[in-house]
Amino acid sequence: MPKAVDSSKVNELTELREQYLASGRYKEAVEVSNKLIELMPDNALFYLARGGDYANIEKYQDAIADYEKALSMDRGELTKKPPVYFNMGTAYLNLGKNTEAIKYFDKALKLDRRYSQALAHRGVAYHNVGKFDLAKADFDAALGLDPKNATAYRFRANIYALANDYKRVVLDLNKCLELDPKKYGQDAALYQNRGEAYHQLGRPKEALEDFEKALNLNPRYVLALVNRGKTYVALRKYDLAFKDYDMAVEFEPTNDFPLFWRGVLYYSTGKLSPGLEDLMKVVELNPGHVFAHLLITGVYSRQNDMEAACGWLKKTVAAAKKTGFKDWDYLKTTKEFENVRKAACYNEVMH
């Protein structure tokens, strides 16, 4: 240590920073780290420490800058430590820069292939870029090393949801909450996802409880509102469903998801005019939404407006060709399309 540096002052500040970290006073910890860097600007460890403090207050770009500064000053020791690369990867992950995050998690795992948290977080990054097989492999590997890794359970559930394996979704999310209730008990998306799984499993009571928890944490959570509405529909509580759909549309008027499901409920309860209005907005926002096109065709068929029904049937088929949609059973078998099936345009368009 250089003679000009007051070692007692450094020790005092270091202890103070540790106290702030222990009590969750992360902004104060940053201020103390600033003072330590002023005292010893050539000490890479202090930049590394401040990077962690910035990460604690979600200033991830500042955290990355400090991590990079520390690595640039290092004479070989830091580059051998997997947590340095893990922290860098986590900062990039939190910024939504998944490709960069994967590179740093790779570096951490090259140094320590049994680093379960790096595996779990790389799995999250793979999930975010749509590489679901790689994500699942990382989550399984992380849990093989550490069966108490809550992060791996939390995000592996998303992979199971994509496979419609809702029992495993519930099991993984239950385990996640059991292992880390403090962190994940504040995760609105977790409750929304588990609520959706319960709905798919035919367990409306549990579904509604979870949607309620999600909305208590985030009252403007449109996905939870719509999915709670769908659960109310299954229970034939249509007034409550409309209330949720209306709120979701109010929060996000240009989101085709709540508009579509409100339109479906209008359609299924015989309120064709407001249903048609919602469905028209859906196809305006999302021209490739085949089901919205199909239901518009159904509205006109039910109204016996065959000219309009045939026009929308053509648009439906055109949208289906662009998206690869081929499941026409609903159109071919249900009563509401009986009129359009009898029309001359039907064979012309469908064959």
* % of the chain with per-residue pLDDT over 90: 90
pLDDT over 70 at 203, yes or no: yes
pLDDT over 90 at 31, yes or no: yes
* Cα–Cα distance, 57 to 86 (Å, whole number): 17
User: What is the average pLDDT across 289-307?
Assistant: 95
User: What is the average pLDDT across 40-66?
Assistant: 94
User: What is the average pLDDT across 326-345?
Assistant: 91
The answer to whether residue 88 is domain-embedded is no
DSSP string of 108-171?
HHHH-TT-HHHHHHHHHHHHHTT-HHHHHHHHHHHHHH-TT-HHHHHHHHHHHHHTT-HHHHHH
- For the record, the structure tokens of 29 come out as 């910890």
The answer to whether residue 43 is domain-embedded is yes
Q: Is the pTM of this model over 0.85?
A: yes
Per-chain mean pLDDT for the chain: 95
CATH number where 20 lies: 1.25.40.10
Per residue in 124-165, pLDDT (tens digit) is: 999 999 999 999 999 999 999 999 999 999 999 999 999 999
The answer to whether residue 178 is domain-embedded is no
pLDDT of residue 4: 60
Q: Are 52 and 63 in contact (CB under 8 A)?
A: yes
Beta strands in the chain (DSSP E): none
pLDDT over 50 at 192, yes or no: yes
Work out the burial of residue 181: count CB atoms within 10 Å of its CB; fewer than 13 is exposed, 13-18 middle, 19 or more buried. Answer: exposed
The distance in angstroms from the start CA to the end CA of the chain is 84
* Cα–Cα distance, 25 to 48 (Å, whole number): 18
The answer to whether residue 209 is domain-embedded is no
pLDDT band at residue 7, thresholds of 50, 70 and 90?
confident
The answer to whether residue 53 is domain-embedded is yes
**In total, how many domains does the chain have?**
1
Backbone φ and ψ for 90, nearest 5 degrees, come out as -65, -40
The answer to whether residue 289 is domain-embedded is no
pLDDT over 50 at 2, yes or no: no
Q: How many CB atoms lie within 10 A of CB 80?
A: 9
- For the record, the structure tokens of 51 come out as 């990077």
pLDDT of residue 1: 45
pLDDT of residue 94: 97
Structural domain span for residue 12: 1-79
The answer to whether residue 326 is domain-embedded is no
Helices (H) and strands (E) in the chain, counts: 22, 0
The answer to whether residue 73 is domain-embedded is yes
